[in-house]
Amino acid sequence: MGNKGQKSIGSRGAAIFAIILIGIVFLLLVIILKNEKETAKEMRHQEQKEFNQRVSSYIAAGEEGEEVDIGGGFGAVFEFGGNVIITSYNGNEKDVVIPEKYDKLYITEIAPEVFRGKDMETVVIPRGVKTIGDYCFADCRNLREVTHSGYLSTIREGAFEGCESLSVINGNWGIHEVGKRGFAGTSSLKNLTFLSSLPLIEEDAFRGSGLETVKLSSAYQIDSGAFADCPNLTTVELRAQTQVIADDAFEDSPNVVFLANEATKAGKYAIEHGIPLTDGKEKE
């Protein structure tokens, strides 16, 4: 019994020691994890502080009219509120990919004339870009394909004017505005799906384009020369929303046929201007 009692006491002692040891290890792990958490928090705070300082310096440079080199041949200015605007490009790539962001800040706009006359063939515009500036891609004679994956809302004056090879525009563009001569001279461009969302078709916006069929579901106003000199344009679908059409909106586009209800402003315009009219009553 004596030996058994001693063994029993020894076993209990070993068990107690093991429990104490596990407790110590657990406590150490808790302390280590707490320290790591505090260290990570301090690092995030420091990173955020440094990021805020960098952004402040970017904005200060922008206010002075200075560009920031963001790599890839691109220069940009930064505005208060986090907007980043591409202001220059000195590269010579055939296939251009505009960066989506720089230092955690998304590119939101491309300034006027940035790519004007460049010998590019394709361009990918990042999803954060909402505005393409005046004459941004004008006279890019070899530009044939443009891709945008986000919600581009505004194309300024002459943005794609003279892009005679442009034939493909990829993406779901929620365009609300195309400026004057925005796509003038795009003779290879046959179709544009975003036309259905435009409330205003500005002056000479698609003059000389290769468009064949257009659906203007939301157009309230079509300005002077908007679809002039479009020899391939055959069908223009208009709804009752269209209230104003300039007399020369379809000048020298001899093959145009209106798909519209004759009782609407568009229908009456077609009759007055000698444009063939197909009754679009079922589409009203």
- What percent of the chain is predicted at pLDDT more than 90? 56
Asked if pLDDT for residue 63 goes beyond 70, the answer is no
pLDDT band at 10 (very low <50, low <70, confident <90, very high): low
Rounded-to-integer distance, Cα 247 and Cα 269, Å: 9
Domain residue spans of the chain: 107-283
pLDDT of residue 35: 79
Tens of pLDDT, residue by residue over 103-128, are: 888 899 999 999 999 999 999 999 99
Find out whether 98 and 129 touch, Cβ atoms under 8 Å.
yes
Amino acid 22: pLDDT: 85
Tokens of 124: 């990918």
Backbone angles phi, psi at 192, to 5 degrees: -140, 110
At the fourth CATH level, which superfamily is domain 107-283? Ribonuclease Inhibitor (3.80.10.10)
135 in Cβ contact with 116 (< 8 Å): yes
Three-state secondary structure call for residue 198:
coil
| Mean model confidence pLDDT for the chain | 86
Query: How far is residue 10 from each of residues 1, 7, 16, 20, measured CA to CA in Å?
Result: 14, 5, 10, 15
DSSP string, 34-99: HHHHHHHHHHHHHHHHHHHHHHHHHHHHHHTT--EEEETTEEEEE-TTS-EEEEEE----SEEE--
- pLDDT for the residue 236: 95
Which pLDDT score, from 0 to 100, does residue 19 have? 83
Q: pTM, whole model, 2 decimals?
A: 0.78
> Which pLDDT value is given to residue 89?
96
pLDDT at 212: 96
Residue 284 pLDDT grade (very low, low, confident, very high; cuts 50, 70, 90)? very low
Does the pLDDT value for residue 133 go beyond 50?
yes
Residue 102 has pLDDT above 90, yes or no: no
Q: Please tell me the predicted confidence (pLDDT) of residue 206.
A: 97
pLDDT, tens only, 138-194? 999 999 999 997 788 899 999 999 999 999 998 766 788 899 999 999 999 998 878
The answer, yes or no, to whether residue 28 has pLDDT greater than 90, is: no
pLDDT of residue 9: 58
For 151-185, give the DSSP string. ---EE-TTTTTT-TT--EEES-----EE-TTTTTT
